[in-house]
């Protein structure tokens, strides 16, 4: 008999303690409520913003949101290994090698329209995610090189194949102090 | 007064929870790769340890012992600790989202930190009174923080150093922790607790 | 402030942290006067010899220029003009290797001297004290003067500061080993230097003028003291020899005791510093109207027979000066532009002397080992700490090295990487021979590039968001327009007017037609011929296209028949009675060529260009005979062929593809030959572009099927 009573008391005590603590926590969760999901914004800040879509998402922000929800972190091709490492640091996960579906060629490029071939169809203008192409129907199109992110979404839609991707030239201003790569002129 | 001071010094140095009692090694290894996370974690653990040891003392003395329910000690302590940790997590999330993100999973893992449960149980075992319990809990936390921050500083240097390949990563960290533990053995006999 | 000047007058100076004492090696050139050298055979003038942007070209190839003639025009304060160092002809304006550690090329002017050394008209200024500040600054700017101590900052910007200047400091320290250019200049031309200092005094009106000079130049010190004896304002400060006393922040700290904080210009502390050679150039510019066209260069090193200071014209190739000083390039020893601490190796001896070149070194292997000949002697850091003992900027080179090697940009920012002046003292003392400054330079450039990329990414994000908004706005506007039009139409139709009723009946008739068509579609499934051909020719074309399509599908298994059938197509086409004889001949020629090509294996690029050429020829001959010679047609066809040729060149080599393409190009010929009037010309153009696209699609399909 006393065993049953003491068991009941024990259960009662535990239960009431749990209720009290639960109430405290519930109150605290309301008082300390945090809005929004800053993680997606922080991830977006790490991505290169080329809006190329190679990751499979229509832009960098959607991919950032997907990664915040558990998407693989190794899909950004323009970002390359550096971006994967930064995302891994942010999320506290392991660094993964870049997805094999993407090509490894990461040299920064800018698009260029060969003007003799352009027929003024505006297909490339519709494709550019950052509006870096100037032109209108039946008029010459040209690429604003400073705005071009090198995403090469414009190359495919062109029906006369007049857009090429040119690597950005190395000038003394953007030279990276790679002493192994200095062009040495041979003297006679 | 001297007793409390001696208790504090003894808990921080002589009987350091991490390097002498070998409790709380999970966050010690997991959070110590960067000093910022180590400092954040030490604040969180200090808060949890102090409040948890205080609350568990109160629960034991005024609820469990009068009702003869000492056999529920472990369960109650876990409940108390879990609640305190959850509360801490909410506070950290609100005040510093950056720290919350940096600590990640290790913040709720303070619940399973055996040092916190260890402090609570040791208070009962050592039959500390109210003030002694608080001092003991606080001292344990200070000792944990001290060692954690020192270790994280060393690990940051180790990360950039030329460690031989078989030792890179956790291996050299473990060896360093072992050497630190040896060093702390030098404090033996510093404080004689009667 | 008074106490500082009192201390200076007493000769008590401050000091900076660290510093080293490398062997000075100045004995090689300090006992000989400055030598004038003959005019070289060619002068190479880079357009940019300073920090900032290049000025605009005023001359072109073939122009004859006089000595001192302005060659580029400045439209911006950070653009410094260049002048012709001697009279001659401009033979080229092209990219050439410039004086930069990268060895990259930039735009340079090539001048061939005519030997006459003829000056342009000059206006001597008898008393510069009469000129206003603006006039003085104008003269300095027009004479192309930039900082000659090595940095090359545009002088007119530095002296145009609006701050209240306490100290004008003249940097005569020349702390780097081997270099004696400023030393000799002071000994030989101290009156002119003093004129230059007085001009700067007029412009800036400082409270005190300090000349900082190291004690290893006793003759120069005496010359300066004699020249400035009457001028109370100028103080010649003799400083103990230590490297790098000549660094801007270090010299300021020694002379005034003030430490310049990070990211702050000395002018905001009321201090302006100018190199002593710049003062000489200013005097020449203002008084004698001589622009900056020559400078003193120390040509030194034990690989030379006659190391000496020379008056070098700007643009002189380094090899010329070395030859003048007896350089024996037997073992291809390396050449350094600049001093041994801060200079850089040159990839070729045709690099020109520029405004900032103060020294050219030709050391022997024992003096300074060449980076090309030996492998890296770098070993692990032993954490000795000597590097932080000598750092003049009070940084922690050891920590910087760990973080730079680990690419930890956050930690590098905490350690103030950008306060490093790249003096090389840390690398000099490192017992492990780690090239510390090299690692810092790489890290700095990486951080700079990352900042640029971040700015670009932010910019792209903004544009992307703006574009999304624009598309959303357009969509809403379009929908509203449609809605308004639909409402208007409904209102019209229901209004009961005759126009409205007509619309209603038209709509009803259209609906009835659609229903009838749907019912009849089952029976006419087989005929792919478009309805109502306007003339027999068009139907022939359509039939031929259909046949070609069918054959192409079959051709994927049997290329040979495809070739012959296409060839037959051409033949059948040209046998139509509406073509005239010449067109028939042209078409026959085209057919023969196509047949020949189909038999060859068109894999090389030359063959592809042959295809292109032949297609073009066929088309042009057609165009002529048709008398509807339309430039656009040929251009479009040429573009089509070019694109195809490009596609061919980038694909794998398979004869099927090439045959496909030649058949497609033949189809183009077909469409082209059929067009006669302007409307057809347009249709032909469109058809040509479409055919090209189809060819591309087929080709890419081929590629896909080959790769899978």
Q: Are residues A131 and A84 in the same domain?
A: no
* Contact between A122 and A114 (Cβ < 8 Å): no
* Separation between Cα atoms, residue B154 and residue A77, nearest integer Å: 35
| Domain endpoint, select from C339, C361, C383 | C361
The count of domains in chain C is 4
Q: Would you state the pLDDT for residue B138?
A: 94
pLDDT band at C575 (very low <50, low <70, confident <90, very high): very low
Q: pLDDT per residue over C468-479, tens digit each?
A: 899 999 999 999
Chain A residues within 8 A of C689 when measuring between CB atoms: 119, 159-160
Rg of chain B, C-alpha, whole Å: 17
pLDDT at A85 over 50: yes
Question: What angle in degrees, to the nearest 10, is found between the helix axes of C631-650 and C655-674?
Answer: 170
The verdict on residue C560 lying in a domain is yes
C377 compared with C320, residue with greater pLDDT: C320
Listed in sequence order, the residues at least 6 apart from B189 whose beta carbon sits closer than 8 Å to its beta carbon are: B14
Q: Which chains are adjacent to chain C, needing at least 3 Cβ pairs under 8 Å?
A: A, B
Q: Are residues C329 and C382 in the same domain?
A: no
pLDDT at A68 over 60: yes
The verdict on residue A132 lying in a domain is yes
Q: Tell me, yes or no, if A169 comes closer than 8 A to chain C by beta carbon.
A: no
CB contact under 8 A, A29 and B79: no
Q: Are residues C136 and C272 in the same domain?
A: yes
* Separation between Cα atoms, residue A118 and residue C642, nearest integer Å: 13
pLDDT at C626 over 50: no
Q: Would you state the pLDDT for residue B104?
A: 77
pLDDT at A17 over 80: yes
CB contact under 8 A, A175 and C461: no
Segment among C130-139, C261-270, C581-590 with least mean pLDDT: C581-590
The shortest CB-CB distance from A32 to any of B64, B69, B94 is to B94
Segment among A157-166, B75-84, C354-363 with least mean pLDDT: A157-166
Instruction: Give the domain CATH number at A48.
Output: 1.10.15.40
Listed in sequence order, the residues at least 6 apart from B16 whose beta carbon sits closer than 8 Å to its beta carbon are: B143, B146, B147, B184, B187
Give the side-chain half-sphere CA count within 13 A for C152: 20
Q: Are residues C459 and C330 in the same domain?
A: no
The verdict on residue A5 lying in a domain is no
pLDDT band at C674 (very low <50, low <70, confident <90, very high): very low
- Nearest residue in chain C measured CA to CA from A184: C347
Pairing of strands C359-361, C294-300: parallel
pLDDT at C65 over 70: yes
pLDDT at B5 over 80: yes
pLDDT band at B102 (very low <50, low <70, confident <90, very high): confident
Q: Tell me, yes or no, if C408 comes closer than 8 A to chain B by beta carbon.
A: yes
* Contact between C417 and C401 (Cβ < 8 Å): no
pLDDT band at A188 (very low <50, low <70, confident <90, very high): very low
Q: Would you state the pLDDT for residue C564?
A: 44
pLDDT at C645 over 90: no
User: CA C343, C349, C352, C354: dihedral to nearest 10 degrees?
Assistant: 10
| Domain endpoint, select from A91, A123, A155 | A91
pLDDT band at C351 (very low <50, low <70, confident <90, very high): very high
The verdict on residue B194 lying in a domain is no
Minimal C-alpha gap between A6 and chain B (Å): 9
Q: pLDDT per residue over C235-265, tens digit each?
A: 999 999 999 999 999 999 999 999 999 989 9
Supply B78's token pair.
Answer: 């876990």
Q: Are residues C677 and C589 in the same domain?
A: yes
The verdict on residue A97 lying in a domain is no
* Separation between Cα atoms, residue B126 and residue C298, nearest integer Å: 82
Q: Would you state the pLDDT for residue C534?
A: 44
Q: Are residues A115 and A66 in the same domain?
A: no
The verdict on residue C74 lying in a domain is no
* Separation between Cα atoms, residue A7 and residue B67, nearest integer Å: 11
Q: Would you state the pLDDT for residue A91?
A: 75
Residue C202's beta-bridge partner residues?
none
pLDDT at C134 over 60: yes
Listed in sequence order, the residues at least 6 apart from C622 whose beta carbon sits closer than 8 Å to its beta carbon are: C583, C586, C587, C669, C672, C673
Averaged pLDDT for residues C115-133: 92
Q: Are residues C285 and C345 in the same domain?
A: no
Chain A residues within 8 A of B90 when measuring between CB atoms: 28-29, 32
Q: Are residues C240 and C348 in the same domain?
A: no
The verdict on residue C633 lying in a domain is yes
pLDDT at C576 over 70: no
pLDDT averaged over every residue in chain C: 80
Of the residues C378, C382, C398, C402, the best mutation for testing chain B's interface (the one with the most B CB atoms within 10 Å of its CB) is: C402
- Nearest residue in chain B measured CA to CA from A36: B97
C373 compared with C486, residue with greater pLDDT: C486
C624 compared with C447, residue with greater pLDDT: C447
pLDDT at B153 over 60: yes
Q: Are residues C330 and C285 in the same domain?
A: no
Residues 167-186 of B with CB under 8 A from C: none
* Separation between Cα atoms, residue C328 and residue C661, nearest integer Å: 62
Q: Would you state the pLDDT for residue C601?
A: 39
Of the residues C408, C447, C461, the best mutation for testing chain A's interface (the one with the most A CB atoms within 10 Å of its CB) is: C461
**Could you identify the residue written with the tokens 């968001």?**
C465
Q: Are residues C136 and C248 in the same domain?
A: yes
Q: Which chains are adjacent to chain B, needing at least 3 Cβ pairs under 8 Å?
A: A, C
**DSSP one-letter string for A69-105:** TT--S---TTTHHHHHHHHHHHHT----PPPTTS-S-
The verdict on residue B192 lying in a domain is no
Averaged pLDDT for residues B119-137: 92
The full length of chain C comes to: 708
**Contacts for A169-173: CB closer than 8 Å, 24+ residues apart:** A170/C102, A170/C104, A171/C104, A171/C106, A172/C98, A172/C100, A172/C102, A172/C104, A172/C106
**Could you identify the residue written with the tokens 């030393």?**
C183
> CA-based angle C701:C702:C703, to the nearest 5?
90
| Domain endpoint, select from C422, C444, C467 | C467
CB contact under 8 A, A29 and B90: yes
| Dihedral (CA of B89, B94, B96, B98) sign | positive
Q: Are residues C354 and C284 in the same domain?
A: no
Tell me how far apart the terminal alpha carbons of chain A are, to the nearest angstrom.
Answer: 111
The verdict on residue C475 lying in a domain is no
Listed in sequence order, the residues at least 6 apart from C609 whose beta carbon sits closer than 8 Å to its beta carbon are: C645
Q: Are residues A83 and A134 in the same domain?
A: no
Q: Tell me, yes or no, if C409 comes closer than 8 A to chain B by beta carbon.
A: no
Give the side-chain half-sphere CA count within 13 A for C318: 28
DSSP code at position C314:
T
The shortest CB-CB distance from A185 to any of C347, C438, C441 is to C347
Averaged pLDDT for residues A33-62: 79
Of the residues A182, A186, A188, the best mutation for testing chain C's interface (the one with the most C CB atoms within 10 Å of its CB) is: A182
The shortest CB-CB distance from C380 to any of B157, B160, B162 is to B162
3-state secondary structure (DSSP) of residue C172: strand
* Separation between Cα atoms, residue C298 and residue C176, nearest integer Å: 12
* Contact between C53 and C279 (Cβ < 8 Å): no
pLDDT at C660 over 50: no
pLDDT band at C644 (very low <50, low <70, confident <90, very high): low
The count of domains in chain A is 2
pLDDT band at B17 (very low <50, low <70, confident <90, very high): very high
* Contact between C402 and C395 (Cβ < 8 Å): no
The verdict on residue B43 lying in a domain is yes
* Separation between Cα atoms, residue B94 and residue B83, nearest integer Å: 17
* Separation between Cα atoms, residue C370 and residue C502, nearest integer Å: 94
Longest dimension (CA), chain C: 116
DSSP code at position C77:
T
**pTM recorded for the entire structure:** 0.75
Which H or E element spans position C91? strand C88-97
The verdict on residue C341 lying in a domain is yes
CB contact under 8 A, C408 and B161: no
Q: Sort residue A94 into left (φ over 0), alpha (ψ -120 to 50) or beta.
A: beta
* Separation between Cα atoms, residue C252 and residue C237, nearest integer Å: 12
C16 compared with C705, residue with greater pLDDT: C16
Rounded percentage of chain C residues whose pLDDT exceeds 90: 50
* Contact between A113 and A125 (Cβ < 8 Å): no
Q: Are residues A86 and A111 in the same domain?
A: no
Q: Are residues C255 and C338 in the same domain?
A: no
pLDDT at C648 over 70: no
Q: Would you state the pLDDT for residue A72?
A: 82
**Could you identify the residue written with the tokens 């996370």?**
B37
Q: Would you state the pLDDT for residue A50?
A: 79
- The phi, psi pair for C533, rounded to 5°, reads -70, 140
Q: Would you state the pLDDT for residue C657?
A: 42
pLDDT at C382 over 70: yes
Domain extent, residue B66, equals 2-187
Instruction: Give the domain CATH number at C216.
Output: 3.40.50.11540
**DSSP one-letter string for C315-370:** T-BHHHHHHHTTB--TT----EES-TTT-EE-S-TTPBP-TT--EEE---TTTS--
**DSSP one-letter string for C620-668:** HHHHHHHT---HHHHHHHHHHHHHHHHHHHHS---HHHHHHHHHHHHHH
pLDDT band at C632 (very low <50, low <70, confident <90, very high): low
How many other C-beta atoms can be found within 10 angstroms of the C-beta atom of residue C259? 17
Residue C3, judged by CB atoms within 10 A of its CB (0-12, 13-18, 19+), counts as exposed
Q: Are residues A87 and A124 in the same domain?
A: no
Domain extent, residue C586, equals 537-707
pLDDT averaged over every residue in chain A: 81
Segment among A72-76, C153-157, C453-457, C539-543 with least mean pLDDT: C539-543
Instruction: Give the domain CATH number at A161.
Output: 3.30.70.20
pLDDT band at C413 (very low <50, low <70, confident <90, very high): very high
Supply A116's token pair.
Answer: 């003799």
Chain B residues within 8 A of A39 when measuring between CB atoms: 101
Of the residues A161, A173, A178, the best mutation for testing chain C's interface (the one with the most C CB atoms within 10 Å of its CB) is: A161
The count of domains in chain B is 1
Q: Would you state the pLDDT for residue C618?
A: 45
Q: Are residues C216 and C321 in the same domain?
A: no
Q: Are residues C382 and C357 in the same domain?
A: no
- Nearest residue in chain A measured CA to CA from C441: A177
* Contact between C255 and C169 (Cβ < 8 Å): yes
The verdict on residue A19 lying in a domain is no
How far is CA C531 from each of CA B2, B150, C540, C708, rounded to the nearest angstrom? 109, 87, 13, 40
| Dihedral (CA of C223, C227, C231, C234) sign | negative
Q: Would you state the pLDDT for residue C664?
A: 46
* Separation between Cα atoms, residue C171 and residue C147, nearest integer Å: 11
Supply B190's token pair.
Answer: 């510093």
The verdict on residue C46 lying in a domain is no
Domain extent, residue A55, equals 38-91
3-state secondary structure (DSSP) of residue C371: coil
pLDDT at B49 over 80: yes
The verdict on residue A71 lying in a domain is yes
What 3 state SS string does chain B have?
CHHHHHHHHHHHHHCCCCCCCCCCHHHHHHCCCCHHHHHHHHHHHHHHHHHHHHHHHHHHHHHHHHHCCHHHHHHHHHHHHHHHHHHHHHHHHHHCHHHHHHHHHHCHHHHHCHHHHHHHHHHHHCCCCHHHHHHHHHHHHHHHHHHHHHHHHHHHHHHHCCCCHHHCCHHHHHHHHHHHHHHHHHHCCCCCCC
Minimal C-alpha gap between A173 and chain C (Å): 10
* Separation between Cα atoms, residue C193 and residue C199, nearest integer Å: 10
Averaged pLDDT for residues C636-664: 52
| Domain endpoint, select from C418, C448, C467 | C467
Q: Tell me, yes or no, if A161 comes closer than 8 A to chain C by beta carbon.
A: yes
Averaged pLDDT for residues C289-293: 94
| Dihedral (CA of A12, A13, A15, A16) sign | positive
Averaged pLDDT for residues C79-102: 92
How far is CA C641 from each of CA B54, C313, C686, rounded to the nearest angstrom? 86, 54, 14
Segment among A23-32, C37-46, C278-287 with least mean pLDDT: A23-32
């Amino acid at each position: 008999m006393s065993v049953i009573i003491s068991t009941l008391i024990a259960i009662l005590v535990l239960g009431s303690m749990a209720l009290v603590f639960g109430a405290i926590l519930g109150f605290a969760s309301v008082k300390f409520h945090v809005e929004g999901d800053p993680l997606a914004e922080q991830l977006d800040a790490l991505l290169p913003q080329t809006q190329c879509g190679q990751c499979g998402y229509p832009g960098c922000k959607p991919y950032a949101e997907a990664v915040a929800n558990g998407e693989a972190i190794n899909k950004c091709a323009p970002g390359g290994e550096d971006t994967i490492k930064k995302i891994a640091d942010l999320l506290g996960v392991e660094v993964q090698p870049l997805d094999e579906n993407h090509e490894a060629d990461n040299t920064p490029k800018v698009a260029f329209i060969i003007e003799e071939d352009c027929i003024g169809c505006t297909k490339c203008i519709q494709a550019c995610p950052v509006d870096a192409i100037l032109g209108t129907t039946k008029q010459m199109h040209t690429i604003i090189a400073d705005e071009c992110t090198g995403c090469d979404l414009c190359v495919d839609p062109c029906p006369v194949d007049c857009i090429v991707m040119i690597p950005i030239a190395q000038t003394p201003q953007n030279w990276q102090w790679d002493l192994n790569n200095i062009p040495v002129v041979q003297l006679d | 007064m001297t007793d409390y001071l001696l208790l504090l010094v003894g808990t921080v140095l002589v009987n350091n929870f991490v390097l002498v009692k070998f409790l709380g090694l999970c966050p010690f290894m997991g959070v110590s790769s960067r000093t910022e996370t180590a400092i954040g974690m030490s604040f969180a653990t200090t808060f949890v340890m102090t409040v948890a040891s205080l609350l568990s003392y109160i629960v034991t003395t005024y609820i469990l012992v009068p009702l003869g329910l000492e056999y529920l000690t472990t369960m109650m302590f876990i409940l108390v600790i879990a609640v305190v940790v959850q509360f801490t997590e909410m506070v950290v999330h609100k005040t510093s989202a950056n720290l919350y993100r940096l600590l990640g999973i290790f913040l709720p893992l303070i619940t399973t930190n055996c040092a916190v449960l260890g402090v609570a149980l040791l208070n009962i075992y050592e039959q500390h009174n109210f003030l002694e319990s608080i001092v003991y809990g606080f001292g344990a936390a200070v000792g944990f923080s001290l060692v954690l921050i020192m270790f994280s500083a060393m690990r940051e240097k180790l990360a950039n150093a030329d460690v031989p390949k078989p030792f890179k990563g956790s291996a050299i960290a473990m060896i360093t922790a072992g050497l630190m533990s040896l060093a702390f053995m030098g404090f033996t006999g510093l404080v004689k607790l009667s | 402030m008074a106490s500082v000047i009192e201390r200076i007058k007493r000769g008590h100076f401050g000091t900076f942290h660290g510093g080293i004492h490398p062997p000075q090696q100045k004995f090689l050139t300090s006992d000989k006067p400055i030598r004038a050298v003959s005019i070289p055979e060619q002068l190479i003038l880079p357009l940019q010899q300073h920090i900032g942007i290049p000025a605009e070209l005023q001359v072109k190839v073939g122009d004859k220029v006089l000595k001192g003639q302005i060659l580029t025009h400045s439209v911006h304060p950070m653009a410094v003009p260049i002048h012709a160092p001697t009279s001659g002809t401009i033979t080229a304006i092209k990219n050439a290797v410039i004086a930069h550690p990268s060895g990259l090329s930039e735009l340079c002017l090539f001048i061939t001297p005519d030997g006459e050394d003829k000056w342009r008209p000059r206006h001597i200024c008898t008393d510069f004290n009469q000129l206003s500040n603006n006039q003085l600054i104008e003269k300095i700017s027009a004479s192309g003067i930039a900082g000659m101590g090595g940095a090359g900052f545009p002088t007119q910007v530095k002296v145009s500061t609006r701050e209240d200047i306490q100290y004008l400091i003249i940097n005569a320290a020349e702390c780097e080993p081997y270099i004696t250019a400023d030393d000799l200049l002071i000994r030989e031309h101290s009156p002119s230097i003093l004129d230059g200092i007085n001009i700067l005094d007029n412009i800036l009106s400082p409270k005190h003028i300090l000349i900082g000079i190291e004690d290893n130049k006793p003759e120069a010190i005496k010359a300066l003291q004699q020249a400035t004896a009457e001028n109370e304002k100028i103080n010649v400060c003799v400083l103990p020899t230590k490297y790098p006393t000549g660094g801007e922040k270090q010299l300021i700290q020694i002379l005034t005791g003030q430490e310049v904080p990070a990211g702050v210009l000395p002018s905001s502390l009321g201090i302006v510093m100018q190199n002593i050679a710049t003062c000489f150039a200013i005097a020449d510019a203002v008084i004698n109207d001589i622009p900056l066209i020559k400078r003193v260069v120390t040509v030194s090193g034990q690989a030379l027979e006659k190391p000496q200071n020379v008056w070098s014209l700007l643009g002189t190739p380094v090899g010329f000066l070395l030859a003048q000083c007896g350089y024996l390039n037997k073992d291809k020893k390396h050449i350094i532009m600049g001093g041994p601490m801060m200079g850089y190796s040159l990839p070729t001896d045709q690099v020109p002397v520029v405004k900032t070149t103060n020294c050219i070194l030709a050391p022997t292997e024992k003096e300074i080992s060449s980076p090309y000949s030996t492998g890296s002697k770098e070993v692990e850091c032993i954490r000795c700490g000597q590097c932080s003992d000598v750092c003049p900027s009070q940084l922690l080179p050891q920590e910087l090295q760990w973080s730079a090697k680990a690419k930890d940009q956050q930690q590098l920012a905490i350690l103030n990487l950008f306060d490093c002046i790249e003096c090389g003292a840390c690398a000099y003392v490192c017992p492990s021979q780690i090239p510390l400054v090299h690692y810092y330079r790489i890290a700095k450039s990486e951080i700079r590039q990352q900042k640029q990329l971040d700015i670009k990414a932010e910019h792209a994000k903004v544009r992307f968001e703006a574009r999304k908004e624009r598309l959303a706005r357009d969509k809403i506007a379009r929908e509203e327009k449609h809605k308004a039009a639909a409402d208007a139409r409904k209102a019209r139709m229901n209004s009961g007017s005759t126009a409205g009723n007509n619309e209603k009946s038209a709509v009803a008739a259209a609906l009835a037609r659609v229903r009838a068509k749907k019912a009849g579609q089952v029976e006419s499934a087989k005929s792919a011929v478009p309805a109502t051909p306007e003339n027999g020719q068009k139907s022939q074309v359509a039939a031929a296209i259909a046949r070609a399509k069918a054959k192409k599908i079959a051709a994927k298994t049997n290329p040979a028949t495809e070739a012959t059938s296409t060839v037959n197509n051409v033949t059948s086409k040209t046998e139509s009675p509406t073509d005239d004889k010449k067109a028939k001949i042209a078409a026959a020629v085209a057919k023969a060529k196509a047949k020949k090509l189909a038999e060859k294996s068109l894999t090389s690029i030359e063959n592809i260009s042959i295809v292109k050429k032949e297609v073009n020829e066929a088309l042009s001959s057609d165009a002529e005979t048709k008398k509807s010679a339309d430039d656009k047609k040929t251009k479009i066809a040429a573009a089509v062929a070019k694109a195809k040729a490009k596609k061919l060149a980038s694909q794998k080599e398979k004869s099927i593809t090439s045959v496909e393409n030649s058949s497609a190009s033949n189809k183009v010929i077909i469409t082209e030959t059929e067009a006669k009037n302007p409307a057809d010309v347009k249709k032909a153009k469109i058809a040509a572009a479409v055919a090209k696209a189809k060819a591309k699609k087929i080709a890419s399909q081929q590629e896909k099927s080959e790769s899978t």
